Amino acid sequence: MKNTIKTGILSFGMSGSLFHAPFLRCHPGFEFSAVVERSKKKVCLDYKNVKSYNAIDELLQDESIELVIVNTPNETHFEFALKAIKANKHVLIDKPFTTTAAEAKQLFKAAKKKGVFLLPYQNRRYDSDFLSVKEVIESGKLGNLVEVHFRYDRFRNAVVQNSWKEDPIPGNGVIYNLGAHVIDGIISLFGLPLKWSKYSSSVRPGTQVNDYEHVHLLYPNNLQVFVTISLLVADPQPAFILNGTLGTFKKNRTDVQENQLNEGMQPDNSLFGIELPESEGIITTIATNGLKTQEKITAPKASYMNVFEDVYQTLRMGKGYPVTEEQIIAQLEILEQ
């Protein structure tokens, strides 16, 4: 494809090597051109023609780079995104977008002034489990929603030593590292809440960051939405429970794409993004005569490639990006409360 978007990635750890580079390679509209590797030079093992810079400023001085992916530690997103904007680059920022809504507003203002695009990377909108939830809501099979529960459960009892995610600095804790996904999903489905409340705690021995969060969001028509995120759930509960006037839908979290990427599967594999058998969600309804019925709901094929297609359509075709400035500001106001 002509007129490809030459792209640089600011880090080549898990995020860069797993969630960005494979998709840049497979999408014909992009060219993975450069990466920042401060110490270990690994990109050459899988990407022969990619330049490896020693520092972020070196990559930003590369005039051939049009798009920069900011996938560095959370606290640095604002600083590095602003540098990229000032270097006249389009910017795609990993979650959390920034650590505060004020920082995000400043970035959007700077991007508009420079005439570049500033885009949030919210890949979990293209998870098969989330897309299944979206399809069920849009089908109307549940009637009017009354109560919704979204969970993100993990079990990590021990504090991870020498991990920046365990440092007590802005942008850390489960609400930023996992909650950014969940809150974005809720906003994309239901819009901005009327109001919300949040409870946070630190439970693991020796932890310096929050490892438990509970958020209650109120929507029009008295829709109650509850978010729970915990690092101390040994037996994960259903990640999605939706109760409506006509029935209930339950769905487990699958993380199918992350698992496949970890196993080395590429995004252009025909099996990529397809859930394993017996992963279906369940709709339960009770008829007026009291008869209870259940229906299995197979999740659609999913791919984070759609994030990069969204980016391509915005940069090259001028189409609106699905994650809006208003949504990001609202998300961050909840995260930082």
Render pLDDT for 243-272 as a digit per residue (tens, 0 to 9): 999 999 999 999 999 999 999 999 999 999
Same domain, 237 and 99: no
Task: Assess if residue 326 is contained within a domain.
Answer: no
| Residue 329 is assigned to a structural domain of this protein | no
Identify whether residues 116 and 225 lie together within a single domain: no
Question: pTM to 2 decimals?
Answer: 0.95
Residues 48 and 188 grouped into a single domain: no
Question: Are residues 59 and 176 both part of a single domain?
Answer: no
pLDDT at 2: 72
Asked whether residue 8 carries a pLDDT value surpassing 80, the answer given is yes
Please give the mean pLDDT across all residues of the chain: 96
Is residue 134 located within the same domain as residue 276? Answer: yes
Residue 1 pLDDT exceeds 70: no
What percentage of the chain has pLDDT greater than the value 90?
94
Range of the domain at 102: 5-122+306-319
**Per-residue model confidence as pLDDT tens digits over 295-326:** 999 999 999 999 999 999 999 999 999 999 99
Q: What is the pLDDT of residues 161-204, one digit of tens each?
A: 878 889 999 999 999 999 999 999 999 999 999 999 999 999 99
Residues 222 and 146 in one domain: yes
Clarify whether residues 241 and 311 are in a common domain.
no
CATH of the domain at 25: 3.40.50.720
Tell me, yes or no, whether 110 and 246 share the same domain: no
Q: Total structural domains in the chain?
A: 2
Same domain for 211 and 281, yes or no, is yes
The pLDDT value recorded for residue 275 is 97
Q: Residue 99: inside a domain, yes or no?
A: yes
- Does residue 85 form part of some domain? yes
In this structure, is residue 334 part of a structural domain? no
Question: Which pLDDT does position 162 carry in this prediction?
Answer: 77
Do residue 179 and residue 93 come from a single domain? no
The pLDDT of residue 307 is: 98
- The single residue listed with the structure tokens 């915990």 is 230
Query: For 225-239, what is the mean pLDDT?
Result: 96
Q: Is residue 22 part of a domain?
A: yes
Over residues 161-172, the pLDDT tens digits come to: 878 889 999 999
pLDDT in tens, 14-55: 999 999 999 999 999 999 999 999 988 999 999 999 999 999
Based on the domain organization, do 139 and 268 belong to the same domain? yes
pLDDT at 161: 84
